[in-house]
Amino acid sequence: MKAAMLYQELIRRKRDGQPLTRAEIEALVQGMTSGDLGDAQLGALAMAVVLNGMDLAERVALTEAMRDSGDVLHWDNGPVLDKHATGGIGDTVSLMLAPALAACGAVVPMISGRGLGHTGGTLDKLEAIPGYTTAPDLTLLRKVVGDVGCAIIGQTCQLAPADKRFYAVRDVTATVESLDLITASILSKKLAAGLDALVLDVKCGNGAFMADLAQAKALAQALVAVANGAGCRTSAVITDMNAPLAPAAGNALEVRVALDFLTGRDMPARLWEVTCTLGAEGLALAGLATDARQGRAMVEDAFHSGRAAERFGQMVAALGGPHDLLDAPHKHLPQAPVTADCVALEDGVICGYDTRAIGLAVIELGGGRRQPTDRIDPRVGFAEILPQGTKVARGTVIARVHAADTQAAQRGAKAFTAACQIGAAPPARPLILCRITGAGDG
C-alpha cells in the first residue's frame, strides 16, 4: 500500500468529512477481505461513515467493491431478476414470488437472509422444510436455477465476503443504523448474484425498521439510486407494516400460508396485493413485460394456472426437500404440541396491531433468536390471525398461538392479545404507500 493509501489516513479523511475516491474505497474493502484492515480500524471507519455520511459516488463505489470482494455470478440465460424486502412480520412474499417470476421467464437466484431483530427471515422459514438446503455450493445453485428457473438460498462464503466481515464489526460497534452502510450491505449481496433487475419492498410502520414514511422513502431512494448507479435496473415499493402481512407469524406456520397461497387453497388479500404488485414491477424492470399492468396480468396467471406452485415444488425437491410438500404439508412441516386461543378483550373492530410486539412474542416462544447461536423452534408462532377491519366481540378468537408447552402458550396468548388494537373503526391506511423509481419520485 502506498503512503497515501495508509488505512489510518483514509479513516482520518472520512472522519474529517472528506469524500473518498473509488480507488481509496477499493483499497479499504480489499483490506476488509484480506484481514489487513484490523477490527479496530474497521470499527473506526464505520463510525466515521455514520457521523459524516457518504455521497452517491462513494456509496456506489463501496457497494461495487464489496460485491466484487468474492464471486460474482454470471448466467447464460436471462433476464436475471430478484426481490428484496427490508424486514417485517408475516412476510412470506419471497416464497411465492420467486417461483412466479421464474414461471414468467425470469432467472431468479434469490439470496435471502435470516431473521434480524424482531423480524422474520426467509431462510429460517425455508429451514422449517425437512431436508431443504439453504447453503448449496455454487455448482448445485447453478443447476437448480438452470433447471427450475429459481432458487432461494442464503449468502455463501464466496459471495460478498467483505460485507459479512464488515457487518459483524458494525453489529458490535453501534454502527448498524447508517443509511450508507445499510445500502451497501443489502446491495452488495444482491448484486453479487449477477442481477439485471431488482425490485425492493421497503416496509414502513410499527413492525418495520423504518416506522416513519420519510425514513422509508430515504432508504428506498438510497437503495434505488445506488443499485441503478451500479448498473442494475431497480425500483422500490413502500408497503405498510402496521399489521402482519400474512395471517401467521412463525416459520413453519408461514410456510403453510405460502403453500396454501400457491395451491389456491387460501390467498389472503394483503398478501396477494403486495406479491402481485412487486411481481408486476419486477417483470417490467426486467423487460419481460411492457409495463406494470401487463406484468401484473402475467404474475396473476402464474398463480392461477398453478405454474408458480409447480416451480416451487420443483425447487424444494431439487434442494433436498420433500417431493410432495405442496400436496401433503401436514406430513412434513413440524407442528407444535400445544395450541391455545388468543381472544379479544372487548367488542369493536380490529384497527391494527403492535406488529413489532408480535415479532418479539414469536422470539419469546422460541421462533427467533436472542443470540446468534440460538436454535430456532420452527413449530411455534401465531396462526389464523384476523385481518384489520374485522368486527369482533369480547371472547372472539383473533389468533391461535402454537407453542412448545402450556406455559409458553399462555404467555404468547397474553402477548398477542395485548398487541391487538381494537377500536371503533380502522384507520384509512393504504397498503401500497408509494413507488420510488430511478428518478426518485414517490
Coil vs helix vs strand at 392: strand
Cell of 91: 412476510
**Does 154 or 423 have the greater pLDDT score?**
423
**Strands 150-154 and 108-112, how do they pair?**
parallel
Q: What is the pTM of this model?
A: 0.90
**pLDDT (tens digit per residue) in 24-57:** 999 999 999 999 999 999 999 999 999 999 999 9
Neighbouring CB atoms inside 10 A of 76's CB total 7
Catalytic residue selected from 163, 196, 201, 260? 163
Strand partners, 207: none
Catalytic residue selected from 84, 125, 164, 400? 84
Catalytic residue selected from 114, 170, 270, 379? 170
Q: What's the average model confidence in pLDDT over 62-76?
A: 93
**pLDDT (tens digit per residue) in 287-326:** 999 999 999 999 999 999 999 999 999 999 999 999 999 9
Q: What's the average model confidence in pLDDT over 362-372?
A: 82
Examine the residue annotation and report whether 84 is marked as an active-site residue of this protein: yes
- d(CA 174, CA 185) in angstroms, rounded, equals 15
Q: What's the average model confidence in pLDDT over 207-215?
A: 87
**pLDDT (tens digit per residue) in 392-420:** 999 999 999 999 999 999 999 999 999 99
Query: Which of the given ranges, 83-92, 133-142, 300-309, 367-376, has the highest pLDDT on average?
Result: 300-309
Examine the residue annotation and report whether 163 is marked as an active-site residue of this protein: yes
The predicted structure's pLDDT at residue 3: 41
Q: What's the average model confidence in pLDDT over 378-405?
A: 96
**pLDDT (tens digit per residue) in 122-151:** 888 999 999 999 988 888 999 999 999 999
Catalytic residue selected from 69, 94, 112, 185? 185
- The pLDDT confidence band at residue 368, using thresholds 50, 70 and 90, is confident
Examine the residue annotation and report whether 69 is marked as an active-site residue of this protein: no
Burial of 373 (0-12, 13-18, 19+ CB in 10 A): exposed
The predicted structure's pLDDT at residue 2: 45
Tell me which residue has cell 400457491. Answer: 262
Q: Which strands make up the sheet holding 338-343, listed edge to edge?
A: 338-343, 397-403, 381-383
The predicted structure's pLDDT at residue 372: 62
Examine the residue annotation and report whether 170 is marked as an active-site residue of this protein: yes
Catalytic residue selected from 14, 59, 114, 189? 189
- d(CA 48, CA 39) in angstroms, rounded, equals 14
Q: What's the average model confidence in pLDDT over 189-207?
A: 93
**Segment (H or E) for 80:** none
Our CA dihedral for 417, 421, 425, 431, rounded to 10 degrees, sits at -110
Please measure the distance between the N-terminal and C-terminal CA atoms of the chain and give it in whole angstroms: 44
Examine the residue annotation and report whether 189 is marked as an active-site residue of this protein: yes
